């Protein structure tokens, strides 16, 4: 139970004439008459749609529930009140205790998402500590933060699972209820006056849902304003509410005390059967009502005494509680905590690090066995050496793709934390590069490169060895940089896979190893200049064939062909040192461009939902 009886200055959220539309009205009027909307179903999401219509009301300290049938606009209204919606298509005003919301509003409130966006590879305590460390002001020292986290753990009854991982696809973690309570705890360490929750009971069994709502009720009794959307609450939950707002097709049908719900609907001619749950009773009415009657129900409500009382309360400005100013922590503190979390994440993700290491060992041995005997002959030695080079480069660049799925999964977490003002984008990005790149990419890359170099009969010398390692690293980092960019650009794994595979296949075609570049139609030849496979393979080819003497056959001792001649025949420039290093410079440029584009995409990522 709640032991921290901190009192909060009562804070209200007043909203007037909220209208919200999505899509393009012009597009609808122009496109629909000549075309059938069903045929153009893929355009439907961009067609004009009114989601909320003239929604007004006030939420005061206590339990404020937004109810209604599915798709009626509950989450949309919640996001608008929490300042998480794109302002395009939005009109009306939202006030915080009678004043415009400050710019840091969304960073100073608590917002719990429906699908519990928390780090799955951390324990309950580690997640809470991360939130406390990164979001609490500098004036609160480490001991106080730990004390606050312990307090939240006790309050949320999470002691028994405090050191349990949240859980991934591979590792069973906490239960659904414990995960939801951890999500709430992530916000409570901030001790916010206002807490928004999007469907906090969805997916939970009846007793867990009851526990969560009872806990929220006790929080509201501390003076907090708790605002949440909810689906079909049981009566035992419904009676915990102080204010209920019923929405139907985006119209507010009722806003007021839950105690007055039944008398109000009775006055409209809807009689509730004895022992029926009032929430179920109203939801049944709303499910049966069409948009047209939702409009009429809103008009009836606006003329009621209850609506009149709410309007007076909205004018009243009885409460004046505001939010504490939100400040970001020092850059290096932020970087430290994100890097620490990324490190745990990488180590505890067996699907990534361990499987990567095992697969590169197996693949390294396989490559080594296949290309074990690289004869110093023109035929098949030259052919096999080029094959080995191209294969090694392809393995390095393509194996980075295994990081794509975890990166896409992490996207939702990044968006939630970014929107909630946990950290700067640059510190998130830098921490990922500092930790993920070596752990997830560079170590497997080095293992693969060392095994293949040891087992194959590639041209050996100290200089050649180091250059081989460098080129392998560049190919791998390129693969990783492309995955970062793609994961930052799309939320769909399928689309990401298509983007990565098609770009790599195109670059492979223009490597000069599958088809002579001069044979390709001239207007497509420019692609060779952005082909990472061409630069990396050329670099390794020069490394291999320079100063290599080749014989006519294994049995022959006539060894007069120089490796340089082979390079000339393949039109690979190799005369000067720059000819070799220009490939590394080009690779660095392409890698840098992908990292920059990934960073820009993260910056551009929607701050709204």
Ligand X SMILES: Nc1ncnc2c1ncn2[C@@H]1O[C@H](COP(=O)(O)OP(=O)(O)OP(=O)(O)O)[C@@H](O)[C@H]1O
- State the residues that interact with ligand X by CB under 6 A: 22, 45, 49, 51, 68, 70-76, 229, 231
| DSSP H helix total and E strand total for the chain | 23, 12
Report yes or no: 237 and 201 within 8 Å, Cβ to Cβ.
yes
CB 196, min distance to ligand X, A: 13
Nearer to ligand X, 46 or 218 (CB): 46
Nearer to ligand X, 168 or 229 (CB): 229
Supply 156's token pair: 């949320």
CB 76, min distance to ligand X, A: 3
CB 213, min distance to ligand X, A: 17
CB burial class (10 A; 0-12, 13-18, 19+) of residue 521? Answer: exposed
CB 367, min distance to ligand X, A: 48
CB 498, min distance to ligand X, A: 24
CB 22, min distance to ligand X, A: 4
Alpha-carbon distance values, 462 to 31, 273, 452, 550, 563 (Å): 67, 88, 15, 21, 18
For the CA atoms of the chain, what is the radius of gyration?
Answer: 31
- Cα(502)–Cα(490) distance, rounded to whole angstroms? 15
Nearer to ligand X, 70 or 519 (CB): 70
CB 175, min distance to ligand X, A: 23
Nearer to ligand X, 298 or 543 (CB): 298
Supply 226's token pair: 């708790």
CB 289, min distance to ligand X, A: 15
Supply 193's token pair: 């006056």
CB 252, min distance to ligand X, A: 13
Supply 508's token pair: 């492979």
* Run of H or E residues at 15: strand 13-22
CB-based contacts of 457, cutoff 8 Å, min separation 6: 371, 372, 373, 374, 375
CB-based contacts of 30, cutoff 8 Å, min separation 6: none
CB 600, min distance to ligand X, A: 23
- Cα(132)–Cα(140) distance, rounded to whole angstroms? 10
Report yes or no: 404 and 487 within 8 Å, Cβ to Cβ.
yes
**Pairing between β-strand 243-248 and β-strand 251-256 as defined by DSSP bridges:** antiparallel
Nearer to ligand X, 27 or 358 (CB): 27
CB 329, min distance to ligand X, A: 33
Nearer to ligand X, 76 or 384 (CB): 76
Nearer to ligand X, 349 or 416 (CB): 416
Alpha-carbon distance values, 37 to 23, 24, 32, 41 (Å): 14, 14, 6, 6
Nearer to ligand X, 115 or 316 (CB): 115
- Cα(93)–Cα(116) distance, rounded to whole angstroms? 29
Nearer to ligand X, 46 or 304 (CB): 46
Supply 408's token pair: 């896409």
Q: Return the sign of the alpha-carbon dihedral for residues 562, 520, 485, 359.
A: negative
Alpha-carbon distance values, 200 to 231, 237, 295, 457, 582 (Å): 9, 12, 28, 62, 57
Nearer to ligand X, 43 or 391 (CB): 43
Nearer to ligand X, 22 or 551 (CB): 22
DSSP SS3 for 525: helix
Q: Return the sign of the alpha-carbon dihedral for residues 503, 504, 510, 514.
A: negative
């Amino acid at each position: 139970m709640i032991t921290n009886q901190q009192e909060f200055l009562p804070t209200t959220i007043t909203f007037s004439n909220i209208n919200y539309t999505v899509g393009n009205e012009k597009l609808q009027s122009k496109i629909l008459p000549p075309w059938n909307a069903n045929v153009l179903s893929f355009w439907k999401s961009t067609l004009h749609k009114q989601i909320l219509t003239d929604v007004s009301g006030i939420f005061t300290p206590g339990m404020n529930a937004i109810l209604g049938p599915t798709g009626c606009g509950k989450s949309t209204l919640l996001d608008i009140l929490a300042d998480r919606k794109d302002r395009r298509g939005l009109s009306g005003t939202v006030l915080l205790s009678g004043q415009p919301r400050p710019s840091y509003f969304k960073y100073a409130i608590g917002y719990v998402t429906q699908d519990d966006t928390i780090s799955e590879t951390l324990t309950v305590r580690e997640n809470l500590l991360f939130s406390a460390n990164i979001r609490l002001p500098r004036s609160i020292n480490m001991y106080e933060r730990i004390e606050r986290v312990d307090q939240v753990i006790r309050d949320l009854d999470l002691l028994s699972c405090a050191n349990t991982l949240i859980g991934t696809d591979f590792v069973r973690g906490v239960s659904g209820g414990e995960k939801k309570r951890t999500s709430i705890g992530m916000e409570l360490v901030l001790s916010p006056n206002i807490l928004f929750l999007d469907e906090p009971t969805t997916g939970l069994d009846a007793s867990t849902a009851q526990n969560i709502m009872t806990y929220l009720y006790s929080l509201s009794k501390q003076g907090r304003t708790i605002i949440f959307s909810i689906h079909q609450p049981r009566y035992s939950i419904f009676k915990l509410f102080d204010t209920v707002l019923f929405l139907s097709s985006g119209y507010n049908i009722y806003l007021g005390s839950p105690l007055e719900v039944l008398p109000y609907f009775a006055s409209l001619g809807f009689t509730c059967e004895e022992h029926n749950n009032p929430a179920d009773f109203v939801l049944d009415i709303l499910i049966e009502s069409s948009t047209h009657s939702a409009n009429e129900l809103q008009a009836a409500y606006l003329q009621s005494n209850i609506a009149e009382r709410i309007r007076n309360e909205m004018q009243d400005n009885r409460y004046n509680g505001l939010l504490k100013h939100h400040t970001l922590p020092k850059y290096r503190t932020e970087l430290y905590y994100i890097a620490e979390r990324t490190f745990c994440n990488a180590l505890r993700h067996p699907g990534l690090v361990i499987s990567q290491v095992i697969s590169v060992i197996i693949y390294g041995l396989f490559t080594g066995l296949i290309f074990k005997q690289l004869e110093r002959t023109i035929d098949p030695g030259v052919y096999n050496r080029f094959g080995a080079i191209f294969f090694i480069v392809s393995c390095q660049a393509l194996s980075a793709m295994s990081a794509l799925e975890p990166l896409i999964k992490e996207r939702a977490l990044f968006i939630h934390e970014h929107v909630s003002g946990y950290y700067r984008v640059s510190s998130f990005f830098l921490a990922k590069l500092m930790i993920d790149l070596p752990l997830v990419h560079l170590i497997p890359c080095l293992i693969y490169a060392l095994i293949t170099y040891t087992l194959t009969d590639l041209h050996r010398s100290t200089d050649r060895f180091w250059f081989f390692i460098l080129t392998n690293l560049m190919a791998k980092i390129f693969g990783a940089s492309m995955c970062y960019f793609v994961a930052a650009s799309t939320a769909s794994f399928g689309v990401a896979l298509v983007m990565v595979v098609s770009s790599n296949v195109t670059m492979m075609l223009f490597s000069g190893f599958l088809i002579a570049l001069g044979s390709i139609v001239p207007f497509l030849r420019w692609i060779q200049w952005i082909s990472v496979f061409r630069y990396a393979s050329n670099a390794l080819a020069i490394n291999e064939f320079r100063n290599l003497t080749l014989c006519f056959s294994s049995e022959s001792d006539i060894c007069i062909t120089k490796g340089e001649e082979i390079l000339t025949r393949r039109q690979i420039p190799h005369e000067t040192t720059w000819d070799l290093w220009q490939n590394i410079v080009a690779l660095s440029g392409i890698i840098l461009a992908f990292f920059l584009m990934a960073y820009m995409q993260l910056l551009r990522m929607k701050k709204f939902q």
